[in-house]
């Protein structure tokens, strides 16, 4: 079944490629739509990363409050001579600190991914701008060819 599906997919890809090579305007529209879809996808991904980072920041702030509270509790237990309780509180504090380190690493990873998505968006934007200038060049060439053709007709050369 999978072999049949792969063969069908290859054939459809070949037909699409042939159609696009014979219809440059459709190929340009296809490329533009692909770029637009990619830009939208990257924008959604960027927005999701921002939301995730905001959630991570909130978790870090809440965790920081917990760390402060458990630091104080640990010290109070030590001052009161509650060795076993202070050890348990200190262990809990260490667990909270480890959670904090993990959250910071996750936040750094979100920042790295955000930067990558932002770079991809900038590159896509640059490509779209160069595509417009390419369209302008192609249009100017088309107009020049049309004028040349008209001059030839007027001169009786064609």
Is the whole model's pTM more than 0.75, yes or no? no
Q: Please give the pLDDT value at position 88.
A: 97
Q: Tell me the pLDDT band of 141, cut-offs 50, 70 and 90.
A: confident
Average pLDDT rounded to a whole number, residues 64-81:
97
Neighbours of 89 (CB within 10 A): 20
Structure tokens at 86: 């202070």
Whether residue 132 has pLDDT greater than 70: no
3-class secondary structure, 95:
helix
Average pLDDT, the chain: 89
Cα torsion angle, 45, 49, 50, 55, sign: positive
Whether residue 87 has pLDDT greater than 90: yes
Average pLDDT rounded to a whole number, residues 21-29:
82
CA-nearest of 113, 93, 117 to 105 is 113
CA-nearest of 91, 88, 86, 65 to 74 is 86
Q: Please give the pLDDT value at position 158.
A: 60
**Which of these ranges, 15-24, 54-63, 86-95, 126-135, has the smallest mean pLDDT?**
126-135
> DSSP labels for 6-72?
HHHHHHHHHHHHHHHHH-HHHHHHHHHHHHHHHHHHHHHHHHHHHHHHHHHHHHHHHHHHHHHHHHH
């Amino acid at each position: 079944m999978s072999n049949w599906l792969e063969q069908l997919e290859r054939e459809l890809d070949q037909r699409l490629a042939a159609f696009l090579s014979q219809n440059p305007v459709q190929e340009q529209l296809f490329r533009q739509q692909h770029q637009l879809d990619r830009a939208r996808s990257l924008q959604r991904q960027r927005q999701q990363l921002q939301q995730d980072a905001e959630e991570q920041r909130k978790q870090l702030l809440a965790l920081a409050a917990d760390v402060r509270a458990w630091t104080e509790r640990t010290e109070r237990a030590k001052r009161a001579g509650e060795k076993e309780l202070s050890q348990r509180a200190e262990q809990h504090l260490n667990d909270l600190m480890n959670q904090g380190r993990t959250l910071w690493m996750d936040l750094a990873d979100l920042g790295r991914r955000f930067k990558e998505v932002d770079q991809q968006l900038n590159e896509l934007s640059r490509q779209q701008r160069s595509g417009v200038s390419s369209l302008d060049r192609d249009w100017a060439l088309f107009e020049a060819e049309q004028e040349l053709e008209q001059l030839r007709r007027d001169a009786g050369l064609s």
